[in-house]
Structure 1
Amino acid sequence: MRARRCIDVRQPLSQLLEAPSDRGQATQLPLDRHDLAARTLYVEWPQVVAATAAQLRHVAARHPDDRELAALIKELTAGSTDFRTHWVTGEVALRTSGTKSLRHPEAGVLTFTDENFEAPGDARQRLVAFTPGKDSPTEAALRLLRGGQ
Structure 2
Amino acid sequence: MSSSNGHVSELGAFLKARRTELSPAEAGLPGSAGRRRVKGLRREEVALLASISPDYYTRLEQGRRRASEPVLDALARVLRLDDGERAYLLELSGRDTARPRRRTSQKVRPQLRRLLDDLSTTPAVVLGRRTDILAWNAMASALFIDFARIPERDRNFVRLIFREPAVRALYADWEWAARMTLAQLRMEAVRDPEDPRLTELVGELSVQDPDFRRWWGTHRVAAQRSGTKVLDHPVVGPLTLDWSFLTSTDDPDQQLITLTAEPGTTSHDRLRTLASRTSGAHDRP
TM tier relative to shorter chain: 0.7 to 0.9
Q: What is the deviation of 1:30? A: 4.7
Q: What is the deviation of 1:88? A: 0.6
Question: Structure 1, unaligned stretches of length 5 or more?
Answer: none
Q: What is the deviation of 1:138? A: 1.0
**Residue 75 (1) aligns with residue 221 (2):** no
Per the alignment, residue 248 of structure 2 pairs with 119
The aligned runs of 1:1-149 (5 Å cut-off) are 4=129, 5-10=132-137, 12-18=138-144, 22=146, 24-25=148-149, 28-32=156-160, 34-120=163-249, 122-147=251-276
Q: Distance in 2 between matches of 1:95 and 1:88?
A: 20
Letter in 1 for 2:175: P
Letter in 2 for 1:120: T
Q: Distance in 2 between matches of 1:115 and 1:56?
A: 16
How many pairs does the alignment contain? 145
- Identity of matched residues, %: 31
Q: Distance in 2 between matches of 1:24 and 1:144?
A: 22
Contact 2:158-2:182 at 8 Å conserved across structures: no
Q: Distance in 2 between matches of 1:140 and 1:80?
A: 36
CA RMSD of aligned residues (A): 2.6
Q: Distance in 2 between matches of 1:85 and 1:50?
A: 10
1:132/1:28 Cα in 2 relative to 1: closer, same or farther (>3 Å)?
farther
Q: Deviations over 1:80-136 (max 9, x none)?
A: 222222111011111211100222112111111010233235333221111111111
When normalised by structure 1's length, the TM-score is 0.81
Contact 1:31-1:49 at 8 Å conserved across structures: no
Contact 1:100-1:111 at 8 Å conserved across structures: yes
Q: What is the deviation of 1:23? A: 6.9
Contact 2:245-2:257 at 8 Å conserved across structures: yes
Letter in 1 for 2:259: F
Q: Distance in 2 between matches of 1:25 and 1:135?
A: 34
Letter in 1 for 2:211: D
Q: Deviations over 1:22-53 (max 9, x none)?
A: 37546641533524323211112111111111
Letter in 1 for 2:157: L
1:9/1:144 Cα in 2 relative to 1: closer, same or farther (>3 Å)?
closer
When normalised by structure 2's length, the TM-score is 0.45
